[in-house]
Copies of this chain bind each other. A is one copy, B any other.
Amino acid sequence: MSKPLILVVNDDGVTAPGIRALVEAMAGLGDVLVVAPDSPQSGMGHAITLSKPLRLTQVHHFGEVQAYQCSGTPVDCVKLAVDKVLHRKPDLCVSGINHGSNSSINIIYSGTMSAAMEASLEGIPSVGFSLCDYKHEADFTAAAYYARIVAQSILKDGLPENTLLNVNIPKGKVEELKGLKISRQAKAKWEEEYIQREDPFGRPYYWLTGKFVNHDEGTDTDEWALANGYVSVVPVQHDLTAHKAINFIKEKWRVNVHEDAQDGQVPNQSKEDFSF
């Protein structure tokens, strides 16, 4: 049986300590290949590069492990890796280890998690790892330990269809953490507070800062797990439909809502413009 092929990506860039820790954690689990951004891409969400071409350059940061840096976003890295480097689907995509938490609503801003999401959209079992310590010199030992356990579990048992994982690891030593806890995304948000400054020419500019606020009192959330010393594991889906709201809107709106239309055909659409 051939070895599993493991794609490693991140959003902090190819030289970040977190991706090195993740590559090392995958050692022996399969053939590892790295495609990561050539510069930090935190907060890039699911951005893709449409208006300019991308560069892809081989680098030698990881000893024997084949590695490339890409001039695009984390999502671009996954797309390019699959189409131009691997020429096939890997068996697993691991993203991270991010410098900083991607729990709860952070998932939506996260380049780390968007890369994992993109891999999952490609049909690749995938998982993003984040350490709740944003410092460059953070200790990734426990995060790497759990990344290996989770990767092994996915390679062995797979994941449900259209599902990826968001794994966050608290600060602390391996022996201090309490283990994995399967959780749901907490209902939390950022309250932004822009800092206004003036440039030397008297014109204002704004720095984004903010405060993370968790209003969710559930004990089954990722925030609860992390605050109580567990590694949080949230299964994540691609379907953003608020299914429960469909009937509310159907009933509430007085506009002409056509129900159970039978006069059409299922579309087999194929279009080629990128125009989101």
State the oligomeric state as a number of copies: 2
Give the complex CA separation of A83 and B48 in angstroms: 27
Residues of A within 8 A of B (CB): 11, 40, 42-51, 53-56, 73, 75-76, 79-80, 82-84, 98-102, 105-114, 117, 121-122, 134, 149, 153, 157, 159-160, 162-163, 165, 178-182, 184-185, 187-190, 192-194, 196-197, 203-214, 217-219, 223-224, 226-230, 233-246, 248-250, 252-258, 261-276
B194 touches A79 (CB 8 A): yes
Specify which chain B residues have a CB less than 8 angstroms from the CB of A157 in the assembled complex.
252-253
Specify which chain B residues have a CB less than 8 angstroms from the CB of A11 in the assembled complex.
276
A43 touches B48 (CB 8 A): yes
Given A107-B240, A240-B240 in contact, is the A275-B207 Cβ separation under 8 Å?
A: no
Specify which chain B residues have a CB less than 8 angstroms from the CB of A235 in the assembled complex.
241-243, 245-246, 248-249
A42 touches B276 (CB 8 A): yes
Min distance, Cβ A123 to any Cβ of chain B, angstroms = 9
B226 touches A237 (CB 8 A): no
B105 touches A121 (CB 8 A): yes
Given A48-B109, A180-B256, A214-B267 in contact, is the A76-B249 Cβ separation under 8 Å?
A: no
